[in-house]
Amino acid sequence: MEQNKEMTAQESLALIARTMDSNRKDIIRKGGKYFILWGCLLTIFSLLIYFLWKTTESGAWNNLWFVMPIVGYGLGWLLKRNEETEPVQNDVSRTIGNIWSAFGIFACSVAVVVLLYSKFGSSAIGAIVAGASLSAQIVLLFGLAETISGVVLKNLTIKMAGFITGIGGLATYYFVGANEEQMLLFTFAGIVLAATGLIVKRQYK
């Protein structure tokens, strides 16, 4: 009888493990299209802002970044509405949501700190340097969030994509410099994100 109970416990643990693994794969499979969506939006908006900034020589076009979340969440809502089944809601999906929420909070906080420093900082040169490095900081945070998501989902493709985006983007920044070309860091991140979505969709089709 004790042996039967032990086997039942082992079978229960195995069932839980299989369920968690199935949930992870389902999240990755369904998340692939959102990677593609946000990757395409990031690419389009960064190229648009870069073009407008380059042609008008005005950094005010960076305000267009505030439009991207509105467009993205609207399109994301339409994608969820057209799904045949309800999105998976469990500890894994909630953890992934919390990771990207933390990224959003950190990215916005960094932007606000840099903005305030550029407005009220005593050193004009320091303000220019702080503002110029904002793109690199956000791309690094973006890559970190994506890498952690890959760790939680146990997916090597997502982990590698996050590392390439964060570290590769930071390294590229030092070659691009503190000018309108820094918008191309987000183009790079968007292309990597969209490519990641295509790969994981192929992996879990």
Q: Is the pLDDT of residue 164 over 90?
A: yes
Confidence (pTM): 0.77
CA angle (27, 150, 157) in 5-degree steps? 95
pLDDT confidence bin for 87, thresholds 50/70/90: low
Work out the pLDDT band at 159, boundaries 50, 70, 90. Answer: very high
pLDDT digits (tens, 9 = 90+) for 110-142: 877 777 776 665 555 454 555 457 788 889 899
Torsion, Cα of 165, 169, 172, 178 (10° steps):
160
Entry field: residues in the chain: 205
Q: Which residue has the tokens 């030092």?
A: 174
- The whole-number average pLDDT for the span 142-156 is 91
Tell me which of 87 and 186 has the higher pLDDT: 186
Q: What is the DSSP letter of 84?
A: S
Domain that holds residue 121: 2-203
**Nearest C-alpha neighbor of 33 from the set 201, 205, 203:** 201
In this predicted structure, the answer to whether residue 52 has a pLDDT above a threshold of 60 is yes
Query: How large is the average pLDDT for residues 68-92?
Result: 78
Task: Enter the tokens of residue 17.
Answer: 């493990």
Q: Residue with structure tokens 């339409």?
A: 78
- Lowest average pLDDT, out of 5-14, 34-43, 112-121, 171-180, goes to 5-14
Q: What percent of the chain has pLDDT over 70?
A: 75
Count of domains for the chain: 1
Q: At what angle do helices 184-203 and 134-153 cross, to 10 degrees?
A: 10
Per-residue confidence at 178, pLDDT binned at 50, 70, 90?
A: low
Predicted pLDDT of residue 17: 64
CA angle 156, 168, 129 (to 5 degrees): 140
What number of CA atoms fall less than 13 Å from residue 166's CA on the CB side?
16
What is the mean predicted confidence (pLDDT) over 160-166? Answer: 93
Q: How many CA atoms lie within 13 A of 102 on its CB side?
A: 13
> Picking from 50-64, 136-150, 182-196, which range would have the lowest pLDDT averaged per residue?
50-64
> Above 90 in pLDDT, residue 191?
yes
| Residue 49, token pair as written in the block | 């802002």
Using CA of residue 66, residue 109, residue 47, residue 70, what is the dihedral sign? negative
CA neighbor of 106 nearest in space, from 72, 133, 144, 152: 144
